[in-house]
Structure 1
């Protein structure tokens, strides 16, 4: 019976004899390579919303360029990919008036190659495209162009956190929320998308302070982070979180999203509507963009220079933890970085390149 089932499973496929293996192999038909719209959507959801939006824009621009040039976008030839990348290195973008930087072009290349795979095609030959991009990197570096180096969020270290929070009015709901958001974001090394996804139920009081369980999307698992008391009450994440939870409870919230929108009257904001229809999260959950804006706004208000974003908290945690002598593996586990993360290694290199420099102790 099992043999009969195995045969009927491949009735739509053509059996071809593979002389090298000495056994017949199945040739996939169009049906075998078909994906339903629902499955395509499920695959797309595996990537972060911001990545999906960026990829969608990159693919639309690539398809439009191919149409203008009379080229086939999918499956694309290696020559098409090389010409397109060269185009990206010379055409000014409307927002900046300058061509895209190397990291932006890298992302666009990934958007197009993954588009091929999603449609059942092999990745196009990228050798020429890579050569064009490498030459572009060299030109930017030789010209001392700031685009030669990938932009990195400025690290929010404890000293910067103190400056950012010095002007926050912690007698208000908004002030308590912002202090808790910044300090918990730092203490957990959370991405802002992970931070705003937290519910009140994910926070448990413990003898050491709190245990906070986050879902780390990049590694697809939950991590429980121990939030400890800080030596400085101004930057203590436990005190800040406790004060914010008390303010939430006073406002009638004991469950649902941890970080919520607060209106100008210092109340939990009502659901947003447009044309009589509710838009956004009806529970008032903050968006990742709104959380990142809190970090940027506080840094600017404190007069701090640099490139501030929600990622500043995550980078600051990695840098400060490494400077304090913590093991890279423990830092990675605490922050939900994938094993061998090059991004994390770059953050820690800010510390290690000085502490581990071959110039140390050689007698100069």
Structure 2
């Protein structure tokens, strides 16, 4: 039962669950038998009203999902979250307090990636070969930061994280035109069947992921079960270390490092694909998205929008109402 949810999900849920229990204790919102669970509708309403204006409406909804999970774990009935009163209260909070705009990390587009890589000196400065290869692969493979690194406090496992075995150079190491990367576990692969993605080489380009990985394998040979990316201390590349490394390089390039993070590569590659005219299906395929959520990652080019707007003034207007070709010269039967 415990493993029915990912450890990261349980960690996220624990925040909302803990806040409800504290609120119930402070306000004496106990059941007649003195228990807090199952949560009563008045207790949930009091808690949600307390959260209004303090956290985002979407956070309140996430907290309610956390409470539902807590009841499922305990085999307890929990219908309060589906209550029309609770739903209307959440909607009222959103209408009254509003919802702040998202402030996602900015995309690392190809020009920014090239600028970032120019600050690194692989083969000269220790650790730069790893950072260089990780950046190229993150962009080219549209990788999630959790697929590339080990999370805070996490321990490396070859069955969960990228290892040297995860990379296969094809057709050969010497003449590789692409790599086949196997992700042992990912967000859309909860049962750890493994997901294989193909990443093409970009011969002659600074951003070529295949060349960067080959340089890494040559400079620091490791056993097959060793982490694909390692820090100078020999530990698997952590998220915090990776972000610190790219921000240092961005700072050297004169860019604001605080607006970029590990997910910036995935967002930048998705935006580049959209700007290049890739179809929705192709972008979802590259990024392994199962829904339209990929659209949240795409930044629309202001120049493109300006161009489309200008075309409205020169668009050709049909003198006659448009009708499909199949209906032209159609004679109805009596």
TM-score by length of 2: 0.75
Q: How does 1:62-101 map to 2 (within 5 A)?
A: 62-72=20-30, 73-90=36-53, 99-101=54-56
* 2:179 counterpart (201, 204, 210): 210
Displacement over 6 Å in runs of 4+:
none
- In structure 2, what is the equivalent of residue 15 of structure 1? none
Higher relative contact order (CA 8 A, sep 6+): 2
Q: Distance in 1 between matches of 2:254 and 2:92?
A: 38
Q: How does 1:131-210 map to 2 (within 5 A)?
A: 131-141=88-98, 148-171=100-123, 172-196=125-149, 197-206=161-170, 207-210=176-179
Q: Tell me if the contact between 1:75 and 1:124 (Cα under 8 Å) persists in the aligned partners.
A: no
Q: Distance in 1 between matches of 2:272 and 2:113?
A: 12
Q: Distance in 2 between matches of 1:237 and 1:140?
A: 46
Relative to 1, partners in 2 of residues 1:168 and 1:208: Cα closer, same or farther, differing over 3 Å?
same
SS at match of 1:116: helix
Q: How does 1:282-297 map to 2 (within 5 A)?
A: 284-297=235-248
SS at match of 1:180: helix
Q: Tell me if the contact between 1:212 and 1:224 (Cα under 8 Å) persists in the aligned partners.
A: yes
Q: Distance in 1 between matches of 2:7 and 2:140?
A: 22
- In structure 2, what is the equivalent of residue 256 of structure 1? 226
Q: How does 1:1-364 map to 2 (within 5 A)?
A: 39-40=1-2, 42-44=3-5, 47=6, 49=8, 51-72=9-30, 73-90=36-53, 99-120=54-75, 121-126=77-82, 127-141=84-98, 148-171=100-123, 172-196=125-149, 197-206=161-170, 207-215=176-184, 217-220=186-189, 221-230=193-202, 233-249=205-221, 253=223, 255-263=225-233, 269=234, 284-305=235-256, 307-338=259-290, 340-341=291-292, 343-348=293-298, 350=300, 359=309, 361-363=311-313
TM-score by length of 1: 0.69
Q: Tell me if the contact between 1:186 and 1:317 (Cα under 8 Å) persists in the aligned partners.
A: yes
Residue 86 of structure 1 and its aligned partner are, at CA, apart by 2.1
Aligned residues: 286
Structure 2 alignment gaps of length 5 or more? 31-35, 150-160, 171-175, 315-334
The structure carrying a bigger strand percent of its residues is 1
SS at match of 1:148: coil
Q: Tell me if the contact between 2:16 and 2:67 (Cα under 8 Å) persists in the aligned partners.
A: yes
Q: Deviations over 1:90-112 (max 9, x none)?
A: 4xxxxxxxx32334333222211
Q: Distance in 2 between matches of 1:192 and 1:295?
A: 13
Residue 215 of structure 1 and its aligned partner are, at CA, apart by 3.7
Structure 1 alignment gaps of length 5 or more? 1-38, 91-98, 142-146, 264-268, 270-283
SS at match of 1:125: helix
